[in-house]
Structure 1
Protein backbone atom coordinates (compact mmCIF):
# COMPACT_ATOMS: atom_id res chain seq x y z
CA UNK A 1 0.00 0.00 0.00
CA UNK A 2 1.41 3.38 -0.96
CA UNK A 3 1.75 6.18 1.57
CA UNK A 4 -0.92 8.18 -0.25
CA UNK A 5 -3.45 5.33 -0.21
CA UNK A 6 -2.67 4.60 3.44
CA UNK A 7 -3.42 8.21 4.38
CA UNK A 8 -6.67 8.10 2.40
CA UNK A 9 -8.22 5.59 4.80
CA UNK A 10 -7.63 7.88 7.79
CA UNK A 11 -10.62 10.07 8.51
CA UNK A 12 -10.30 13.65 9.76
CA UNK A 13 -10.43 13.69 13.56
CA UNK A 14 -13.75 15.08 14.80
CA UNK A 15 -15.57 15.39 18.13
CA UNK A 16 -17.28 12.03 17.65
CA UNK A 17 -13.92 10.29 17.29
CA UNK A 18 -12.53 12.11 20.34
CA UNK A 19 -15.58 11.13 22.41
CA UNK A 20 -15.28 7.48 21.42
CA UNK A 21 -11.56 7.40 22.19
CA UNK A 22 -12.12 8.95 25.61
CA UNK A 23 -14.89 6.49 26.40
CA UNK A 24 -12.68 3.54 25.49
CA UNK A 25 -9.92 4.91 27.75
CA UNK A 26 -12.13 5.79 30.71
CA UNK A 27 -14.07 2.51 30.78
CA UNK A 28 -11.15 0.12 30.19
CA UNK A 29 -10.53 -2.35 33.03
CA UNK A 30 -7.62 -3.96 31.25
CA UNK A 31 -5.42 -3.53 28.21
CA UNK A 32 -2.93 -5.31 26.02
CA UNK A 33 0.49 -3.85 26.86
CA UNK A 34 3.22 -3.98 24.23
CA UNK A 35 6.84 -3.38 25.26
CA UNK A 36 10.30 -4.00 23.86
CA UNK A 37 12.08 -7.05 25.26
CA UNK A 38 15.31 -5.75 26.86
CA UNK A 39 17.20 -8.91 25.92
CA UNK A 40 16.16 -9.35 22.29
CA UNK A 41 14.64 -6.00 21.31
CA UNK A 42 11.61 -7.88 20.00
CA UNK A 43 8.02 -6.84 20.77
CA UNK A 44 6.54 -8.46 23.87
CA UNK A 45 2.83 -8.27 24.73
CA UNK A 46 1.02 -8.96 27.99
CA UNK A 47 -2.20 -8.00 29.76
CA UNK A 48 -2.46 -5.38 32.52
CA UNK A 49 -5.32 -4.01 34.61
CA UNK A 50 -6.12 -0.32 34.17
CA UNK A 51 -7.65 2.69 35.82
CA UNK A 52 -7.46 6.31 34.71
CA UNK A 53 -6.14 9.51 36.18
CA UNK A 54 -8.20 12.69 36.35
CA UNK A 55 -6.98 13.83 32.94
CA UNK A 56 -7.79 10.44 31.41
CA UNK A 57 -4.27 9.00 31.25
CA UNK A 58 -4.17 5.23 31.88
CA UNK A 59 -2.59 3.98 35.11
CA UNK A 60 -1.24 0.46 35.64
CA UNK A 61 -0.20 -1.36 38.80
CA UNK A 62 2.80 -3.48 37.88
CA UNK A 63 5.00 -5.95 39.73
CA UNK A 64 8.77 -5.88 39.64
CA UNK A 65 8.61 -9.62 39.02
CA UNK A 66 6.82 -9.16 35.68
CA UNK A 67 8.73 -9.32 32.43
CA UNK A 68 6.94 -6.23 31.12
CA UNK A 69 8.11 -4.26 34.18
CA UNK A 70 11.73 -5.09 33.49
CA UNK A 71 11.16 -4.11 29.88
CA UNK A 72 9.71 -0.74 30.85
CA UNK A 73 12.60 -0.09 33.22
CA UNK A 74 14.99 -0.63 30.31
CA UNK A 75 12.93 1.29 27.73
CA UNK A 76 9.76 3.20 28.73
CA UNK A 77 8.38 3.23 25.19
CA UNK A 78 5.21 1.16 25.00
CA UNK A 79 1.66 1.00 23.73
CA UNK A 80 -1.70 -0.05 25.13
CA UNK A 81 -4.63 -1.57 23.26
CA UNK A 82 -8.04 -0.97 24.85
CA UNK A 83 -11.52 -1.90 23.70
CA UNK A 84 -13.52 -5.05 24.37
CA UNK A 85 -14.97 -7.14 21.53
CA UNK A 86 -18.62 -8.07 21.77
CA UNK A 87 -20.77 -10.47 19.83
CA UNK A 88 -19.87 -11.36 16.27
CA UNK A 89 -16.77 -10.26 14.43
CA UNK A 90 -14.23 -8.90 16.97
CA UNK A 91 -12.85 -6.57 14.29
CA UNK A 92 -16.20 -4.82 13.99
CA UNK A 93 -15.91 -3.42 17.52
CA UNK A 94 -14.03 -0.19 18.34
CA UNK A 95 -10.54 -0.26 19.80
CA UNK A 96 -7.86 2.27 20.58
CA UNK A 97 -4.09 1.99 20.54
CA UNK A 98 -2.28 4.44 22.82
CA UNK A 99 1.40 5.09 22.18
CA UNK A 100 3.69 6.78 24.68
CA UNK A 101 6.15 6.34 27.50
CA UNK A 102 5.62 4.78 30.89
CA UNK A 103 6.42 6.87 33.96
CA UNK A 104 6.52 5.51 37.50
CA UNK A 105 4.46 7.40 40.06
CA UNK A 106 6.59 8.07 43.12
CA UNK A 107 5.21 6.63 46.38
CA UNK A 108 4.21 8.90 49.27
CA UNK A 109 3.03 11.63 46.89
CA UNK A 110 -0.36 13.14 46.20
CA UNK A 111 -0.24 11.68 42.69
CA UNK A 112 0.31 8.21 44.16
CA UNK A 113 -2.58 8.55 46.61
CA UNK A 114 -4.84 9.73 43.81
CA UNK A 115 -3.85 6.87 41.50
CA UNK A 116 -4.17 4.32 44.31
CA UNK A 117 -7.67 5.41 45.28
CA UNK A 118 -8.95 5.41 41.70
CA UNK A 119 -7.32 2.08 40.92
CA UNK A 120 -8.80 0.37 43.98
CA UNK A 121 -12.25 1.70 43.18
CA UNK A 122 -11.92 -0.02 39.80
CA UNK A 123 -10.11 -3.13 41.12
CA UNK A 124 -10.97 -3.60 44.83
CA UNK A 125 -9.32 -7.04 45.04
CA UNK A 126 -5.97 -5.34 44.43
CA UNK A 127 -6.08 -4.22 48.09
CA UNK A 128 -4.43 -7.56 48.86
CA UNK A 129 -1.16 -6.54 47.19
CA UNK A 130 -1.29 -2.87 46.19
CA UNK A 131 1.08 -1.81 48.98
CA UNK A 132 3.63 -4.58 48.49
CA UNK A 133 7.14 -3.19 48.02
CA UNK A 134 7.59 -4.79 44.61
CA UNK A 135 4.47 -3.16 43.13
CA UNK A 136 4.36 0.31 41.61
CA UNK A 137 1.89 2.54 39.81
CA UNK A 138 2.83 3.56 36.28
CA UNK A 139 1.21 6.25 34.16
CA UNK A 140 1.26 6.19 30.38
CA UNK A 141 2.28 9.60 29.07
CA UNK A 142 0.41 9.51 25.78
CA UNK A 143 2.13 10.84 22.69
CA UNK A 144 -0.34 9.72 20.03
CA UNK A 145 -3.22 7.33 19.50
CA UNK A 146 -4.80 5.28 16.74
CA UNK A 147 -8.56 4.76 16.84
CA UNK A 148 -10.38 2.10 14.89
CA UNK A 149 -14.07 2.70 15.33
CA UNK A 150 -15.04 -0.30 13.21
CA UNK A 151 -14.72 -1.06 9.51
CA UNK A 152 -13.79 2.08 7.56
CA UNK A 153 -13.52 4.27 10.67
CA UNK A 154 -9.80 4.90 11.29
CA UNK A 155 -8.42 8.01 12.97
CA UNK A 156 -5.03 9.25 14.07
CA UNK A 157 -5.15 11.30 17.29
CA UNK A 158 -2.73 13.30 19.40
CA UNK A 159 -2.56 13.57 23.18
CA UNK A 160 -4.74 16.69 23.30
CA UNK A 161 -7.55 14.77 21.59
CA UNK A 162 -7.88 12.29 24.45
CA UNK A 163 -6.59 14.05 27.58
CA UNK A 164 -8.03 16.89 29.63
CA UNK A 165 -5.91 20.03 30.07
CA UNK A 166 -3.96 19.97 33.33
CA UNK A 167 -5.04 23.48 34.35
CA UNK A 168 -7.67 23.36 37.07
CA UNK A 169 -7.61 19.60 37.64
CA UNK A 170 -6.01 19.91 41.09
CA UNK A 171 -9.18 21.49 42.43
CA UNK A 172 -11.30 18.62 41.11
CA UNK A 173 -8.91 16.07 42.63
CA UNK A 174 -9.26 17.74 46.03
CA UNK A 175 -13.05 17.47 45.99
CA UNK A 176 -13.40 14.07 44.33
CA UNK A 177 -13.13 11.91 47.46
CA UNK A 178 -15.61 13.94 49.51
CA UNK A 179 -18.05 14.31 46.62
CA UNK A 180 -18.14 10.56 45.96
CA UNK A 181 -18.45 9.76 49.66
CA UNK A 182 -21.37 12.18 49.97
CA UNK A 183 -23.15 10.66 46.98
CA UNK A 184 -22.73 7.15 48.35
CA UNK A 185 -23.86 8.06 51.85
CA UNK A 186 -26.82 10.29 51.00
CA UNK A 187 -27.73 9.76 47.34
CA UNK A 188 -26.87 6.19 46.38
CA UNK A 189 -30.31 5.81 44.78
CA UNK A 190 -29.50 8.73 42.48
CA UNK A 191 -26.09 7.26 41.64
CA UNK A 192 -27.72 4.04 40.50
CA UNK A 193 -30.30 5.90 38.48
CA UNK A 194 -27.53 7.85 36.76
CA UNK A 195 -25.90 4.59 35.71
CA UNK A 196 -29.05 2.68 34.84
CA UNK A 197 -31.10 5.36 33.09
CA UNK A 198 -28.65 7.97 31.79
CA UNK A 199 -25.54 5.88 31.11
CA UNK A 200 -27.86 3.04 30.00
CA UNK A 201 -25.77 0.51 31.86
CA UNK A 202 -28.67 -1.64 33.00
CA UNK A 203 -29.75 -2.58 36.52
CA UNK A 204 -27.06 -3.28 39.08
CA UNK A 205 -25.36 -2.32 42.32
CA UNK A 206 -23.67 0.69 40.76
CA UNK A 207 -21.21 2.90 42.63
CA UNK A 208 -19.30 5.99 41.60
CA UNK A 209 -15.65 5.11 41.06
CA UNK A 210 -14.36 8.47 39.84
CA UNK A 211 -15.35 11.82 38.41
CA UNK A 212 -13.74 14.49 36.28
CA UNK A 213 -14.82 17.73 34.59
CA UNK A 214 -16.31 15.79 31.67
CA UNK A 215 -18.26 13.04 33.40
CA UNK A 216 -18.84 10.29 35.96
CA UNK A 217 -17.52 6.72 36.03
CA UNK A 218 -19.48 3.87 37.62
CA UNK A 219 -18.58 0.32 38.64
CA UNK A 220 -20.63 -2.76 39.45
CA UNK A 221 -18.30 -5.67 40.01
CA UNK A 222 -16.60 -6.26 36.67
CA UNK A 223 -18.84 -3.82 34.83
CA UNK A 224 -17.86 -0.22 34.10
CA UNK A 225 -20.04 2.58 32.72
CA UNK A 226 -19.54 6.25 32.00
CA UNK A 227 -21.89 9.22 31.86
CA UNK A 228 -20.62 12.25 29.97
CA UNK A 229 -21.92 15.68 30.99
CA UNK A 230 -23.66 17.87 28.42
CA UNK A 231 -20.80 20.35 28.85
CA UNK A 232 -17.54 20.15 30.82
CA UNK A 233 -17.56 21.65 34.30
CA UNK A 234 -15.69 24.94 34.60
CA UNK A 235 -15.10 24.57 38.35
CA UNK A 236 -15.80 22.02 41.12
CA UNK A 237 -18.62 24.10 42.55
CA UNK A 238 -20.57 23.53 39.33
CA UNK A 239 -20.90 19.82 40.09
CA UNK A 240 -23.80 20.06 42.54
CA UNK A 241 -26.17 21.77 40.11
CA UNK A 242 -25.30 19.27 37.40
CA UNK A 243 -25.94 16.30 39.71
CA UNK A 244 -29.31 17.72 40.74
CA UNK A 245 -30.30 18.15 37.10
CA UNK A 246 -29.12 14.64 36.25
CA UNK A 247 -31.14 13.20 39.13
CA UNK A 248 -34.29 14.91 37.87
CA UNK A 249 -33.73 13.61 34.36
CA UNK A 250 -32.98 10.09 35.59
CA UNK A 251 -36.09 9.96 37.78
CA UNK A 252 -38.21 11.19 34.87
CA UNK A 253 -36.96 8.26 32.80
CA UNK A 254 -37.53 5.83 35.66
Structure 2
Protein backbone atom coordinates (compact mmCIF):
# COMPACT_ATOMS: atom_id res chain seq x y z
CA UNK A 1 0.00 0.00 0.00
CA UNK A 2 1.08 3.63 -0.54
CA UNK A 3 0.68 6.24 2.18
CA UNK A 4 0.92 9.95 1.38
CA UNK A 5 0.25 13.13 3.33
CA UNK A 6 -2.58 15.16 1.88
CA UNK A 7 -2.85 18.97 1.87
CA UNK A 8 -5.05 18.82 4.96
CA UNK A 9 -2.43 16.90 6.90
CA UNK A 10 -4.43 13.63 6.75
CA UNK A 11 -2.92 10.55 5.23
CA UNK A 12 -4.34 9.10 2.03
CA UNK A 13 -4.16 5.35 1.58
CA UNK A 14 -4.28 3.85 -1.88
CA UNK A 15 -3.40 0.66 -3.72
CA UNK A 16 -0.12 0.27 -5.50
CA UNK A 17 -0.30 0.98 -9.19
CA UNK A 18 0.93 -2.49 -9.99
CA UNK A 19 -1.65 -4.23 -7.76
CA UNK A 20 -3.63 -6.65 -9.94
CA UNK A 21 -7.37 -6.05 -10.21
CA UNK A 22 -9.33 -9.01 -8.92
CA UNK A 23 -11.29 -10.68 -11.70
CA UNK A 24 -14.80 -11.24 -10.40
CA UNK A 25 -15.92 -13.22 -13.44
CA UNK A 26 -15.98 -17.00 -13.46
CA UNK A 27 -15.14 -19.05 -16.52
CA UNK A 28 -18.27 -19.76 -18.51
CA UNK A 29 -19.19 -23.45 -18.41
CA UNK A 30 -22.14 -25.61 -19.45
CA UNK A 31 -23.83 -25.13 -16.08
CA UNK A 32 -23.77 -21.35 -16.52
CA UNK A 33 -25.05 -21.65 -20.08
CA UNK A 34 -27.93 -23.90 -18.99
CA UNK A 35 -28.82 -21.54 -16.12
CA UNK A 36 -28.89 -18.49 -18.39
CA UNK A 37 -30.91 -20.24 -21.07
CA UNK A 38 -33.35 -21.53 -18.47
CA UNK A 39 -33.91 -18.06 -17.01
CA UNK A 40 -34.93 -16.79 -20.44
CA UNK A 41 -36.91 -19.84 -21.58
CA UNK A 42 -38.98 -19.97 -18.39
CA UNK A 43 -39.55 -16.23 -17.94
CA UNK A 44 -43.15 -15.03 -18.18
CA UNK A 45 -42.01 -11.42 -18.07
CA UNK A 46 -38.86 -9.31 -17.89
CA UNK A 47 -37.62 -5.74 -17.56
CA UNK A 48 -36.85 -4.07 -20.87
CA UNK A 49 -34.54 -1.03 -20.87
CA UNK A 50 -34.45 1.15 -23.97
CA UNK A 51 -33.32 4.71 -24.74
CA UNK A 52 -36.10 7.29 -24.65
CA UNK A 53 -35.96 9.13 -28.00
CA UNK A 54 -36.56 12.67 -26.71
CA UNK A 55 -34.25 12.60 -23.69
CA UNK A 56 -31.78 9.76 -24.21
CA UNK A 57 -32.53 8.48 -20.73
CA UNK A 58 -32.93 4.73 -20.18
CA UNK A 59 -36.60 3.76 -20.01
CA UNK A 60 -37.34 0.55 -18.10
CA UNK A 61 -40.62 -1.27 -18.67
CA UNK A 62 -42.11 -4.61 -17.74
CA UNK A 63 -42.85 -6.76 -20.79
CA UNK A 64 -44.42 -10.20 -21.22
CA UNK A 65 -42.06 -12.71 -22.82
CA UNK A 66 -41.95 -15.75 -25.01
CA UNK A 67 -39.05 -17.24 -26.95
CA UNK A 68 -38.44 -18.25 -30.54
CA UNK A 69 -37.23 -21.74 -31.44
CA UNK A 70 -33.60 -20.71 -30.95
CA UNK A 71 -34.24 -19.18 -27.52
CA UNK A 72 -34.25 -15.52 -28.53
CA UNK A 73 -36.76 -13.49 -26.47
CA UNK A 74 -39.94 -12.26 -28.15
CA UNK A 75 -42.14 -9.37 -27.00
CA UNK A 76 -45.52 -8.06 -28.18
CA UNK A 77 -45.90 -4.30 -27.83
CA UNK A 78 -48.31 -1.51 -28.75
CA UNK A 79 -47.34 1.73 -30.47
CA UNK A 80 -49.02 3.44 -27.51
CA UNK A 81 -46.23 2.16 -25.24
CA UNK A 82 -43.20 4.30 -24.58
CA UNK A 83 -40.80 1.41 -25.02
CA UNK A 84 -42.14 0.73 -28.52
CA UNK A 85 -41.22 4.20 -29.81
CA UNK A 86 -37.89 3.82 -28.04
CA UNK A 87 -36.87 0.56 -29.76
CA UNK A 88 -38.24 1.80 -33.09
CA UNK A 89 -35.96 4.84 -32.87
CA UNK A 90 -32.96 2.91 -31.52
CA UNK A 91 -33.16 -0.91 -31.52
CA UNK A 92 -30.48 -1.27 -28.83
CA UNK A 93 -32.04 -2.49 -25.60
CA UNK A 94 -31.37 -4.70 -22.60
CA UNK A 95 -33.61 -7.32 -21.05
CA UNK A 96 -33.41 -8.53 -17.44
CA UNK A 97 -34.83 -11.99 -16.68
CA UNK A 98 -35.00 -13.80 -13.37
CA UNK A 99 -37.58 -13.73 -10.60
CA UNK A 100 -36.64 -13.40 -6.93
CA UNK A 101 -37.86 -16.00 -4.47
CA UNK A 102 -37.78 -16.19 -0.70
CA UNK A 103 -35.20 -14.25 1.26
CA UNK A 104 -32.69 -11.82 -0.20
CA UNK A 105 -33.72 -10.98 -3.79
CA UNK A 106 -30.05 -10.46 -4.71
CA UNK A 107 -29.27 -14.07 -3.87
CA UNK A 108 -31.41 -15.35 -6.74
CA UNK A 109 -30.06 -15.77 -10.29
CA UNK A 110 -30.78 -13.30 -13.06
CA UNK A 111 -29.42 -12.56 -16.51
CA UNK A 112 -29.17 -9.33 -18.48
CA UNK A 113 -29.30 -9.72 -22.26
CA UNK A 114 -27.81 -7.04 -24.52
CA UNK A 115 -29.97 -7.10 -27.62
CA UNK A 116 -31.25 -5.34 -30.71
CA UNK A 117 -35.00 -5.32 -31.31
CA UNK A 118 -36.18 -6.55 -34.71
CA UNK A 119 -39.77 -5.80 -35.69
CA UNK A 120 -41.49 -8.78 -37.33
CA UNK A 121 -43.65 -8.06 -40.35
CA UNK A 122 -47.21 -9.36 -40.40
CA UNK A 123 -48.05 -12.00 -42.97
CA UNK A 124 -44.63 -13.68 -42.77
CA UNK A 125 -43.95 -17.23 -41.64
CA UNK A 126 -41.84 -15.84 -38.81
CA UNK A 127 -44.80 -13.76 -37.58
CA UNK A 128 -47.09 -16.79 -37.66
CA UNK A 129 -44.56 -18.87 -35.72
CA UNK A 130 -43.96 -16.22 -33.07
CA UNK A 131 -47.69 -15.52 -32.75
CA UNK A 132 -48.40 -19.17 -32.01
CA UNK A 133 -45.53 -19.53 -29.56
CA UNK A 134 -46.41 -16.30 -27.77
CA UNK A 135 -50.08 -17.25 -27.37
CA UNK A 136 -49.05 -20.67 -26.07
CA UNK A 137 -47.38 -18.82 -23.19
CA UNK A 138 -49.87 -15.96 -22.89
CA UNK A 139 -53.30 -17.21 -24.11
CA UNK A 140 -55.13 -14.09 -22.87
CA UNK A 141 -53.15 -12.02 -25.38
CA UNK A 142 -55.41 -13.43 -28.10
CA UNK A 143 -57.80 -10.60 -27.20
CA UNK A 144 -55.44 -7.99 -28.70
CA UNK A 145 -52.63 -9.78 -30.55
CA UNK A 146 -54.10 -8.94 -33.98
CA UNK A 147 -54.86 -5.28 -33.26
CA UNK A 148 -53.23 -3.02 -35.81
CA UNK A 149 -51.14 -1.13 -33.27
CA UNK A 150 -49.50 -4.27 -31.85
CA UNK A 151 -46.28 -5.74 -33.22
CA UNK A 152 -43.96 -8.59 -32.38
CA UNK A 153 -40.29 -7.82 -31.80
CA UNK A 154 -37.59 -10.45 -31.66
CA UNK A 155 -34.70 -9.41 -29.43
CA UNK A 156 -31.50 -10.43 -31.19
CA UNK A 157 -28.95 -11.32 -28.51
CA UNK A 158 -25.42 -9.98 -28.78
CA UNK A 159 -24.07 -10.94 -25.36
CA UNK A 160 -25.25 -11.40 -21.78
CA UNK A 161 -24.27 -10.89 -18.17
CA UNK A 162 -25.29 -13.70 -15.81
CA UNK A 163 -25.44 -13.31 -12.05
CA UNK A 164 -26.03 -16.76 -10.62
CA UNK A 165 -26.10 -15.50 -7.03
CA UNK A 166 -23.45 -14.05 -4.74
CA UNK A 167 -19.98 -14.58 -6.20
CA UNK A 168 -21.27 -16.24 -9.38
CA UNK A 169 -20.82 -13.75 -12.24
CA UNK A 170 -20.37 -14.79 -15.87
CA UNK A 171 -20.11 -13.06 -19.23
CA UNK A 172 -21.77 -14.97 -22.08
CA UNK A 173 -21.70 -14.52 -25.83
CA UNK A 174 -24.45 -15.09 -28.37
CA UNK A 175 -23.46 -18.70 -29.01
CA UNK A 176 -23.77 -19.51 -25.30
CA UNK A 177 -27.47 -18.62 -25.32
CA UNK A 178 -28.98 -19.60 -28.66
CA UNK A 179 -29.78 -23.06 -29.96
CA UNK A 180 -28.87 -23.83 -33.58
CA UNK A 181 -31.99 -24.34 -35.71
CA UNK A 182 -31.24 -25.84 -39.10
CA UNK A 183 -34.71 -25.37 -40.63
CA UNK A 184 -37.06 -23.08 -38.70
CA UNK A 185 -40.03 -23.81 -40.98
CA UNK A 186 -39.67 -27.58 -40.57
CA UNK A 187 -39.33 -27.20 -36.81
CA UNK A 188 -42.38 -24.93 -36.64
CA UNK A 189 -44.50 -27.37 -38.63
CA UNK A 190 -43.45 -30.31 -36.47
CA UNK A 191 -43.92 -28.33 -33.26
CA UNK A 192 -47.48 -27.30 -34.10
CA UNK A 193 -48.66 -30.84 -34.73
CA UNK A 194 -46.72 -32.35 -31.83
CA UNK A 195 -47.96 -29.83 -29.25
CA UNK A 196 -51.58 -30.20 -30.33
CA UNK A 197 -51.30 -33.99 -30.34
CA UNK A 198 -49.72 -34.14 -26.89
CA UNK A 199 -52.29 -31.80 -25.34
CA UNK A 200 -55.22 -33.67 -26.88
CA UNK A 201 -54.12 -37.29 -26.49
CA UNK A 202 -51.27 -37.52 -23.98
CA UNK A 203 -52.14 -35.43 -20.96
CA UNK A 204 -50.86 -38.25 -18.76
CA UNK A 205 -47.40 -38.02 -20.31
CA UNK A 206 -47.34 -34.24 -19.89
CA UNK A 207 -48.25 -34.65 -16.24
CA UNK A 208 -45.33 -37.05 -15.82
CA UNK A 209 -42.94 -34.65 -17.55
CA UNK A 210 -43.88 -31.82 -15.18
CA UNK A 211 -44.39 -33.63 -11.90
CA UNK A 212 -41.82 -36.44 -12.11
CA UNK A 213 -39.00 -35.24 -14.37
CA UNK A 214 -39.10 -31.52 -13.57
CA UNK A 215 -40.65 -31.87 -10.10
CA UNK A 216 -42.76 -28.79 -10.74
CA UNK A 217 -45.65 -29.87 -8.51
CA UNK A 218 -49.21 -30.92 -9.23
CA UNK A 219 -51.22 -28.73 -11.61
CA UNK A 220 -53.21 -28.90 -14.84
CA UNK A 221 -50.10 -28.96 -16.98
CA UNK A 222 -50.16 -28.56 -20.73
CA UNK A 223 -47.41 -28.46 -23.31
CA UNK A 224 -46.75 -24.93 -24.54
CA UNK A 225 -43.76 -25.07 -26.87
CA UNK A 226 -41.08 -27.37 -28.28
CA UNK A 227 -37.62 -26.52 -29.57
CA UNK A 228 -34.38 -28.38 -30.38
CA UNK A 229 -33.19 -28.26 -26.76
CA UNK A 230 -36.33 -29.05 -24.79
CA UNK A 231 -39.95 -28.23 -24.09
CA UNK A 232 -41.93 -25.67 -22.10
CA UNK A 233 -44.83 -26.69 -19.89
CA UNK A 234 -47.45 -24.29 -18.54
CA UNK A 235 -50.21 -24.36 -15.94
CA UNK A 236 -51.80 -20.97 -15.39
CA UNK A 237 -49.01 -18.69 -14.14
CA UNK A 238 -46.61 -21.60 -13.68
CA UNK A 239 -43.94 -22.40 -16.26
CA UNK A 240 -41.62 -25.41 -16.22
CA UNK A 241 -38.75 -26.23 -18.53
CA UNK A 242 -37.73 -29.79 -19.43
CA UNK A 243 -34.39 -30.13 -21.21
CA UNK A 244 -33.62 -32.89 -23.64
CA UNK A 245 -30.51 -34.94 -22.90
CA UNK A 246 -29.03 -33.70 -26.16
CA UNK A 247 -30.02 -30.99 -28.62
CA UNK A 248 -31.99 -32.40 -31.56
CA UNK A 249 -30.52 -31.70 -34.98
CA UNK A 250 -33.67 -32.86 -36.81
CA UNK A 251 -37.33 -32.23 -35.88
CA UNK A 252 -38.05 -35.79 -36.98
CA UNK A 253 -36.41 -36.93 -33.74
CA UNK A 254 -39.07 -35.25 -31.60
CA UNK A 255 -41.49 -38.17 -31.44
CA UNK A 256 -39.00 -40.77 -30.23
CA UNK A 257 -37.58 -38.25 -27.75
CA UNK A 258 -41.00 -37.56 -26.23
CA UNK A 259 -41.75 -41.28 -26.01
CA UNK A 260 -38.42 -41.93 -24.29
CA UNK A 261 -39.06 -39.14 -21.77
CA UNK A 262 -42.48 -40.54 -20.91
CA UNK A 263 -40.98 -44.01 -20.39
CA UNK A 264 -38.24 -42.52 -18.20
CA UNK A 265 -40.83 -40.70 -16.09
CA UNK A 266 -42.96 -43.84 -15.64
CA UNK A 267 -39.92 -45.81 -14.50
CA UNK A 268 -39.10 -43.10 -11.95
CA UNK A 269 -42.67 -42.67 -10.71
Q: TM-score, normalised by structure 2?
A: 0.91
- Inter-partner Cα distance in structure 2 for 1:129 and 1:5: 52
The 1:78/1:17 distance shift into structure 2, 3 A limit, reads same
Is there any run of 5+ residues in structure 2 with no aligned partner, and where?
1-14
Matches within 5 A, 1:29-68: 29-68=44-83
Q: Partners of 1:168 and 1:110 in 2: how far apart?
A: 12
Deviation of 1:73 after TM superposition, in Å, equals 1.1
C-alpha distance in 2, partners of 1:154/1:105? 33
1:233 aligns with 2:217: no
Q: CA RMSD in A?
A: 1.6
- Kindly indicate whether the alpha-carbon contact (under 8 Å) linking 2:74 and 2:153 is maintained by their aligned counterparts in 1: yes
The structure that has the greater radius of gyration is 2
Q: Which residue number in structure 2 is paired with residue 16 of structure 1?
A: 31
Q: Classify the secondary structure of the residue corresponding to 1:211.
A: strand
Q: Deviations over 1:122-179 (max 9, x none)?
A: 0111011000000000000111100000000000001110001242343212200001
1:71-127 CA distance string (max 9 Å, x none): 111111100000000000000000000001101011011100110001111011101
- Kindly indicate which of the two structures has a greater share of residues assigned to helix: 1
Q: Which runs of 4+ in 1 moved over 3 A?
A: 1-4
Displacement after TM superposition at 1:200 (Å): 1.2
Gaps of 5+ in 1: none
Q: Which residue in 2 is equivalent to 1:104?
A: 119
Moved more, 139-148 or 162-171: 162-171
Please state if 1:205 is matched with 2:197. no
1:81 is matched with 96
TM-score (norm. length: structure 1): 0.96
Equivalents in 1 of 2:174, 2:43: separation in Å?
17
